[in-house]
Structure 1
Amino acid sequence: MSFVRGEVRVSVPATSANLGPGYDSLGLALGLRDELTATTIHDGLEVVVEGEGAGALPLDESHLVVRSMWAGFGAMGIAPPGIRLHCRNVIPHARGLGSSSAAIVGGLGLARALVSDGPSRLSDGDLVQLAADLEGHPDNVAPAALGGFTISGREGMSWYAVSAPVDPRIRAVAFVPPYSLSTELARSLLPASVPHADAAADAGRTALLVAALGGAPEHLLTATRDYLHQDYRRPAMPESLALVDALRADGVPAVVSGAGPTVLAFLADGVPGLLAAADLRGRCPGGWVAHELDVDRSGVRVG
């Protein structure tokens, strides 16, 4: 086992988790990619960050990509003498678009790519397991690693992640506000229990959402109705929930992306009742940024 010569490049997509009712279980990869490059060096650590997080992220061993790389090297039983890392970040940070999952999956992908027989030592399944351990939950890391639409969770001592089909007509618009929201704060607003009727309604909507994304986008509005988490989080992001309410009142399948505060709205070409991308972009609040995004099918990739 040895390290490859020269620089390796990895890119990893943004992700949106929950998608309304699929709390901590559903995730979708989106066409907005961070690019990471790395090489082994004789000694030490060199980190450069461009774009999102530049000037704010640490440039030492505490950097999440670096920590993830070392976790990957540890899983493969090899340690480089030093690392040079360059991050070109475009995924907004702390906005509900999976920036931390992209860093984790990207770091693991870099470590695997730097080892000559890395893919045989750290399979995609192994990578998802390790990434979910680092993140604490799999709903964002699974689509970041595998691409597309994933259903994930925990069974016993291990994580599972299953890819599900996405209708090729489906795209999304992400409305990103100019302020952030920590996942910890968003989770702290959730109650310890919910009414049985709400849990049952959410379970039905989650099942319907899998079908709607897979080939029945005309059901996306009903399928994205959430009963478990979004309204409880309204005090932390009133503008986001107001936008969700307004879009849904006009028939747009809109949800809070992950823990928020980004709002994700679905569109599907040729499906009656769903707004076109141009119409959706026109609903972007002042000071926010609208990204029209395809579903990313490939997940983390080298090159």
Structure 2
Amino acid sequence: MQSNQQVIVSVPATTANLGPGFDCLGMALDLYNQIYMSFAPSTTIEVEGQGANEIKRDEENIVWQAARRVFTELGQPMPGIAIKLVNQIPTSRGLGSSAAAIVGGLVAANNLAGNKLSQDTLLALATEMEGHPDNVAPALLGGIVISVVSEGKVHYLRIDPPEELSTVVAIPDFELSTQAAREVLPRQVSLQDAIFNLSRSALMVGALCQKRLDLLTVAAQDVLHQPHRAPLVPGLVQVIENANRAGALSVMLSGAGPTVIAFTHNFQKEVAGVMEKTFLEAGVICQTKNLKPIVDGAVIL
């Protein structure tokens, strides 16, 4: 093991569900976390940027745990490693911060260990750690990813996002844990609701494949998770309505929220302004960003 070798991995933010595609659709966005990793006499962890005050700097750190998972998979003892995290992705906001940490840790450690694990193995490990593939798949592979777990294996299809598709994300100034957002979901749904989401998920994938942005308004509708999560995000229903009215192609929760993402045809300033104003009327301060869907996932710099 070379003690002076350093790996730098850049991992994108991701938005999951894309409306109706609960736990199976995700897309990479151009906001990044960087992970610096090298062998060291003992483990040290530094954190800069988003989450610097909350992120653990011991063996509970997700990047460290992901690195350990790689060495375990390779049948090797966990070496001392120095980790430095430079984060742009806000934590617990529905933009895939934990997926970026997991994927970044796996990719960096795999590179340090000589790239012995395949991309599919890394995806399987990331899914096992995260519990579902909707964020980790686009974080690793880039683009838009449809993923299904069957008998422990992740089956996926990756598609390039339409070039003219852009997004506006409104990021509220409060955190919402994925666990809390999952706890409000019903254990059973009606046949009618299941058909509603199935049909729109299929339309969403078809519309993105054929670059039919005109179909995204209907394709993004959901009844399985957003109505149940709306009480956790003040102003959500109104933000979605007003942003659609302002010209967005579709508007939805990003992942478990509280971030709301609007799909737009190229960038639309009015949509960002309306989302900020509507959130403010509900007593929520938010920050908006124009983010572009991207084709690359985690890359070694």
* TM-score, normalisation: structure 2: 0.93
Structure 1 match to 2:218: 222
Structure 2 match to 1:78: 76
Structure 2 match to 1:57: 55
Structure 1 match to 2:39: 40
CA shift in 2, pair 1:130/1:160, >3 Å: same
Structure 2 match to 1:273: none
Query: How many residues align structurally?
Result: 292
Distance in structure 1 (CA, Å) of the matches to 2:112 and 2:4: 8
Task: Report SS of the residue matched to 1:88.
Answer: strand
Structure 2 match to 1:24: 23
CA shift at 1:248, angstroms? 2.8
Q: Where does structure 1 lack aligned partners over 5 or more consecutive residues?
A: 270-275
Which of 272, 275, 294 aligns to 1:281? It is 272
Trace 1:287-302 onto structure 2 (pairs within 5 A). Answer: 287-302=285-300
Task: Report SS of the residue matched to 2:295.
Answer: coil
Distance in structure 2 (CA, Å) of the matches to 1:70 and 1:296: 29
Structure 2 match to 1:272: none
Per-residue CA shift, 1:226-269, capped at 9, x if unaligned?
Answer: 12110011111132332113223445200000000000000124
Structure 2 match to 1:247: 243
Structure 1 match to 2:152: 157
Trace 1:167-246 onto structure 2 (pairs within 5 A). Answer: 167-214=162-209, 215-246=211-242
CA shift at 1:281, angstroms? 2.1
Per-residue CA shift, 1:52-80, capped at 9, x if unaligned?
Answer: 11122111111000001110122123335
CA shift in 2, pair 1:264/1:49, >3 Å: same
CA shift in 2, pair 1:200/1:8, >3 Å: same
Amino acid at match of 2:260: V
Task: State which drifts further: 171-180 or 232-241.
Answer: 232-241
Contact conserved, 1:144 with 1:300, CA < 8 A, in 2? yes
Matched, 1:105 2:103: yes
Which of 138, 141, 147 aligns to 2:136? It is 141
Contact conserved, 1:4 with 1:114, CA < 8 A, in 2? no
Per-residue CA shift, 1:54-111, capped at 9, x if unaligned?
Answer: 1221111110000011101221233353111100011010000000000000000110
RMSD of aligned alpha carbons: 1.5
Structure 1 match to 2:5: 6
Matched, 1:267 2:258: no
Distance in structure 2 (CA, Å) of the matches to 1:133 and 1:278: 39
Distance in structure 2 (CA, Å) of the matches to 1:137 and 1:173: 25
Which of 255, 259, 267 aligns to 1:258? It is 255
Task: State which drifts further: 162-171 or 280-289.
Answer: 280-289
Q: Where does structure 2 lack aligned partners over 5 or more consecutive residues?
A: none
CA shift in 2, pair 1:79/1:203, >3 Å: same
Distance in structure 1 (CA, Å) of the matches to 2:68 and 2:104: 12
